[in-house]
Structure 1
Amino acid sequence: MFTLKGTFTLTDGALKSDDGGCLGSGGFDDIAEGTSVTVYDAAGDVVATGNLGKSTYAAGLCLFKVSVDDVPKGEKFYQVEVSHRGNIKVAAREAEKGEFAATLG
Structure 2
Amino acid sequence: MTDQLPPQPTTPPPPTEPPAEPLVVSTTELAKRRLSPLTAGVLGLTVGAAVVGGAWVITANAGPSRPATFTLKGTFALTDSVSTDPGDDGCRGSADSGYDDIAEGTSVTVYGAKGDVIAASSLGKSNSDEMGTTCTFKITVPDVPRGEKFYKVEVSHRGTVQLSAKEAENGELAASLG
Q: Per the shorter chain, which TM-score range?
A: over 0.9
Asked which structure has the greater RCO (Cα within 8 Å, sep 6+), the reply is 1
Total equivalences in the alignment: 105
Structure 1 or 2: more helix by fraction: 2
Per the normalisation by structure 1, the TM-score is 0.97
Aligned to 2:89: 20
**In 2, distance between residues paired with 1:73 and 1:37?**
18
**Partners in 1 of 2:72 and 2:85 — Cα distance?**
26
Matched to 2:153, the amino acid is: V
**Take 1:17 and 1:5, find their aligned partners in 2: how far apart are those partners?**
24
- 2:169 maps to what in 1? 96
Aligned to 2:151: 78
Q: Look up the match of 1:29.
A: 100
Separation in 2 of the partners of 1:30 and 1:68?
19
SS at match of 1:95: helix
Q: TM-score, normalised by structure 2?
A: 0.58
Please state how far the C-alpha of 1:76 moved relative to its aligned partner: 1.2
| Match in the other structure for 1:8 | 76
Question: Which residue identity is paired with 2:116?
Answer: D
Question: Which residue identity lines up with residue 20 of structure 1 in the other structure?
Answer: D
1:67 pairs with 2:140: yes
- Find the partner of 1:38 among 104, 109, 114: 109
**CA apart distance, 1:13:** 1.1
Query: Which secondary structure does the structure 1 equivalent of 2:168 belong to?
Result: helix
Structure with higher strand content: 1
Which of 46, 50, 58 in structure 1 is aligned with 2:121?
Answer: 50
SS at match of 2:98: helix
Q: Distance in 1 between matches of 2:127 and 2:163?
A: 24
Give the unaligned 5+ runs of structure 2: 1-68
Structure 1, unmatched stretches of 5+, are none
Q: Root-mean-square deviation (CA), in Å?
A: 0.7
Which 4+ residue blocks in structure 1 deviate beyond 3 angstroms?
Answer: none
Q: What displacement does 1:80 show?
A: 0.3
